[in-house]
Amino acid sequence: MSPEKMVYMANQIAGFFKTQPGADAAERVADHIRDFWEPRMREQLLSHVAGGGAGLDEAVIGAAGQL
Amino acid sequence: MKDFIIPSYSRDDDRDMGTPAREGAPVALTIDGFEVTVPEGTSVMRAAAELGIQVPKLCATDSVEAFGSCRLCAVEIDGRRGTPASCTTPVAPGMIVHTQSEKVRKIRKGVMELYISDHPLDCLTCSANGDCELQDMAGAVGLRDVRYKAPENVPLANHFAPRNTSGEANPEWLPKDDSNPYFTYDPAKCIVCSRCVRACEEVQGTFALTIEGRGFDSRVSFGAKTDNALASDCVSCGACVQACPTATLQENSVIDLGTPERAVITTCAYCGVGCSFKAELNGDQLVRMVPYKHGKANRGHSCVKGRFAYGYATHKDRILNPMIRDSIEDPWQEVSWEEALTFAANRMRGLQDTYGQKSIGVITSSRCTNEETFLVQKLTRAVFGNNNTDTCARVCHSPTGYGLGQTFGTSAGTQDFDSVEHTDVVIVIGANPTDGHPVFASRLKKRLRSGAKLIVIDPRRIDLVKSAHIAAAHHLPLRPGTNVAVVSALAHVIVTEGLMDEEFIRTRCDWDEFQTYAEFISDPRHSPEATALLTGVDAQELRGAARAFATGGNGAIYYGLGVTEHSQGSTTVMGIANLAMLTGNIGRKGVGVNPLRGQNNVQGSCDMGSFPHELPGYRHVKSPEVRDLFKEAWGVEIDPEPGLRIPNMLDAAVAGTFKGLYCQGEDILQSDPDTKHVAAGLAAMECVIVHDLFLNETANYAHVFLPGSTFLEKDGTFTNAERRINRVRKVMAPKNGYADWEVTQMLANAMGAGWNYTHPAQIMDEIAATTPSFAGVDYALLEEKGSIQWPCNENHPDGTPLMHVDGFVRGKGRFIVTEYIATDERSGPRFPLLLTTGRILSQYNVGAQTRRTDNVVWHEMDLLEIHPHDAENRGLKDGDYVKLASRSGETSLRAKITDRVSPGVVYTTFHHPDTQANVITTDYSDWATNCPEYKVTAVQVSPSNGPTDWQEEYAAQAAQARRILPAAE
């Protein structure tokens, strides 16, 4: 998928978990992505992060470290 | 001691008991010397019927309340004067009733003689011959002659003879009304029993029929004098036709084909209500569908689709032979099943060899049976060796799965449909039941007419807001995309005004999480006043709605795709669950959270493991224990990683890593959002296998076409929105040669699977063996019970009508913080209006079935609803061709100017491929599940001369792609 779409979807997930109580948004984003994103999508996310992670929410970048 | 009695019937006993059943304390009485005990409030007529004694009757039928007009059911009761009508006389303790005294026999004969004096004696050629209660009653009372004759040389005193013997027209005679495509009204046959009028009022709740005139002038009339059946408010549900005791209102199919001689009980294949029907046939010729009285979802009612719109099953467009082609540029080539399956299997395996194990996948059908869906997901998990399976629930109720799973612990509605009879205040949010789930709507309207309050949360003024004899207490016409803000504002009012059910929350929910939630929701930024500008909902009206829901008694929430199909669909579902928990409205009759499911088996297809991350029974593929269970059953390793969801498949296809798709009974090119993207995804695949009744839109991009079978042609089960597993029974042989489960099995075997199911019952046994919530289900139990609501297992051997009665499935109910995050799909200078999409009563989903029936008389094209202000600004008149454009694409259709939509909002349906509303919708989706945001698209509307270039290109490609070469000799 286009990087913009992937970034958008990941940020939407972060958008929800950042509103939840607790300081573990990145971990919960990681759990969600692990549960619902097919490996190809996760690889695309990881390589995007490796390439600087342009446009990604910090919770997603934090989550990528745990994937 | 038993304090009430519910009469029980065997499944095949659908005798007309004369008057409706009652619940109440037992009352014992004697009828014709036999003792009987029935619930208080039962009529004498029904009590007699319980004994097997049929009191003659004409105006009574057990679908409507007694009326007492025909006087045929007169009886004598010891100690009472006169001859009371048994239909309107309730039983009393110790009552002694005589149904066959000399006196009442004489009365009945006299009554029948009068009826017959104004009825044509053309029984032999009458369409109701053999199925006429008037005929039956004439026989039952022993009517042998009619003494009344019209006087000579005066105008005819009857309603049935068009002319007198001199050829003069009879002013009392009226011609047949055959304006409705499915039934004919013949006034000449009418006995003015009012059963049709009462069925329209009491059962359907439309009030389209009335009796006009008095005495001899009394006539059944469709509304105003100038209206005919089609022009009236009639929604063609057929309740009147079913209630009519004569040939006055008769199915055209019976007029054409004669009375049916056998009946098979089966389940409707349209919406998620899952009505039970008697398919009535002569041989394998389907004559009519009659809603089954003991069907627990519909209780003997139906809508126009279920009862009448089955003609697609025999439509000439049905494809009955398999077809293949090398490229989508080629015409189709008819081939043998073996050749088609070998071609498909070789291609799919070849793709896996070249592009990897995960380069192919399946889409299961929410229109097919549980057993068929189970096999399709098994095909991908056990034969393809990956988890690339998804289903149309992705684009409708996947947020329900996620949201209710998180809050309650399981993905399903909490109630049965009967529950609505016990509700006091109902919220309908993002659903339009009178169009989408008509039989449920009729049951809801019945409850509203007896006093329950209604709150409608919808951008449009749907019919439930105000129609005959019902009106919503509150309508909150919110701006599309602001569901979370409105639901949170309701919760804010309930919490800050102290209206919550604290005891329920303390005992049933996680108290700490509630504290966090209460603090969050109490913040003034969630107040109706603070969000009014955003949502467009009047703050006082919203406060009134919140108070009514929290304090009005049993509160139930019913919702549809207007909740789920948003960027925050899952969040809204959680917000709805929060509302139900806050007010203690879970775990008993009359309350609950009730997702109205779209397609007939969308609940079942989710239950059967159609989602890429879940094995059957909603168990994540990451769980080694669950994978081991299936490894044991299927003898293969299950991939522990989630597979691709439908939008992900299309993205991966465009990216070149997803190459092959087996799509059963689903038309993603028409139904899924952003048509251009779907088409690009399909065009990028090297093997698309479409398994369907028709060459649907998706088939324009297919390489293999496998003909499908209709619900009339196979055995299986559907699971409706109340988790009810209903049997689907084969009433005729598949025209294409095979039931769909057989086709999937043949494809699997062509790929080396070695399956050998010989009946769907064996597939259900495999489902039960592997899926705890189905552990107790088998076909023998379904035969015995008629239907079962899952979970059905050791703890619930008879199934589970109500969920979460003593505790939530997950233990403690979980309140989840629901922050409103606006969608990025916003109106602006280029696209100043918001489009929302939906359905209409007469059409179903992509219309592949209903467009191939006479239902098109009600909706032959998709229309764009636009407010008069927005139309005037643009110089548009009603019926004008308009161009509808978004950032995704543009199409053209005709405008319908109406104030049902608010200014700034436009609405259309997606039933017709020549409009393709989904070329407009975007790729935005729910944050948790990728459910598309169908309900909010920023658009512009402008005058147009006709189809857009895109529509013309689309139509040309479709015509090109549908060419079929004759079979090789």
Query: Which residues, 6+ apart, have CB-to-CB distance to B298 below 8 Å?
Result: B273, B274, B275, B276, B291, B292, B417, B439
Of B612, B643, B817, the CB nearest to A19: B817
pLDDT of B801: 94
Question: Which residues of A lie closer than 8 Å to B, measured between beta carbons?
Answer: 1-2, 5, 9, 12-13, 15-16, 19-21, 32, 34-41
Q: How far is A9 from chain B (nearest CA, A)?
A: 7
Q: What is the DSSP string of B692-714?
A: ESS--SGGGG-SEEEE---GGG-
Of B612, B654, B821, the CB nearest to A15: B821
| Strand intervals (E) in B735-807 | 787-789
Find the helix or strand (DSSP H, E) in which B31 lies.
Answer: strand B26-31
Q: Are strands B219-222 and B96-98 parallel, antiparallel or unpaired?
A: unpaired
Interchain pair B651, A37: CB under 8 A: no
| pTM of structure | 0.94
Q: How far is B570 from chain A (nearest CA, A)?
A: 10
Residues of B in contact with A34 (CB under 8 A): 622
B314 touches chain A (CB under 8 A): no
Two structure tokens written together for B727: 């049997």
The ipTM of this complex is: 0.97
Q: How far is A63 from chain B (nearest CA, A)?
A: 15
The values of phi and psi at residue B743, to 5°, are: -65, -45
Alpha carbon distances (Å) from B35 to B30, B31, B104: 4, 6, 21
Size of interface A-B (CB pairs under 8 A): 60
Residue of chain A with shortest Cα separation from B516: A21
Residue of chain A with shortest Cα separation from B647: A1
Interchain pair A1, B925: CB under 8 A: no
Q: How far is A5 from chain B (nearest CA, A)?
A: 9
Two structure tokens written together for A12: 């939407």
DSSP character for B383? I
How large is the average pLDDT for residues A27-49? Answer: 96
Residues 565-584 of B with CB under 8 A from A: 567, 570-571
Interchain pair A19, B644: CB under 8 A: no
Residues of B in contact with A35 (CB under 8 A): 613, 620, 622, 642
Helices in A1-67 by DSSP H: which ranges?
Answer: 3-18, 25-36, 39-50, 58-64
Residues of A in contact with B927 (CB under 8 A): 9, 12-13, 15-16
Q: What is the DSSP string of B898-941?
A: -TTSPTTEEEEE---TTT-GGGTS-S-B-TTT--B-TT-EEEEE
Give the span between the Cα atoms of B331 and B212, in whole angstroms.
Answer: 59
Q: What is the DSSP string of B583-632?
A: TT--SSTT-EEEE--SBTTHHHHHHTT-STTEETTTEETT-HHHHHHHHH
- Could you tell me how far CA B640 lies from the centroid of its own chain? 35
Interchain pair A35, B655: CB under 8 A: no
Domain positions in chain A: 3-64
Interchain pair B612, A38: CB under 8 A: yes
Residues of B in contact with A39 (CB under 8 A): 358, 641
Q: How far is A65 from chain B (nearest CA, A)?
A: 18
Query: Which residues, 6+ apart, have CB-to-CB distance to B509 below 8 Å?
Result: B581, B808, B812, B813, B814, B815
Interchain pair B927, A13: CB under 8 A: yes
Q: How far does chain B reach from its first CA to its final CA, in angstroms?
A: 76
Candidates A13, A16, A37, partner chain B, best to mutate (most B CBs within 10 A): A16
Residues 338-367 of B with CB under 8 A from A: 358
- Cα angle value B665/B671/B674 (rounded, 5°): 140
- pLDDT beneath 50: ranges in chain B: 1-9, 11
pLDDT of B4: 42
B958 touches chain A (CB under 8 A): no
Candidates B651, B677, B926, partner chain A, best to mutate (most A CBs within 10 A): B651
pLDDT of B967: 66
Single-letter residue type at B584: G
Give the span between the Cα atoms of B95 and B416, in whole angstroms.
Answer: 37
Q: Hey, which residues does B431 pair with through a beta bridge?
A: none
Residue owning tokens 């929060």: B578
Interchain pair B651, A19: CB under 8 A: no
Two structure tokens written together for B415: 């109630």
Closest CA to B434 of B451, B456, B401: B456
Residues of A in contact with B928 (CB under 8 A): 13, 16, 32, 36
Interchain pair B925, A9: CB under 8 A: yes
Single-letter residue type at B596: L
Query: Which residues, 6+ apart, have CB-to-CB distance to B743 below 8 Å?
Result: B691, B706, B707, B708
Interchain pair A39, B613: CB under 8 A: no
The CB-side HSE value for B175 (13 A sphere, CA atoms) comes to 5
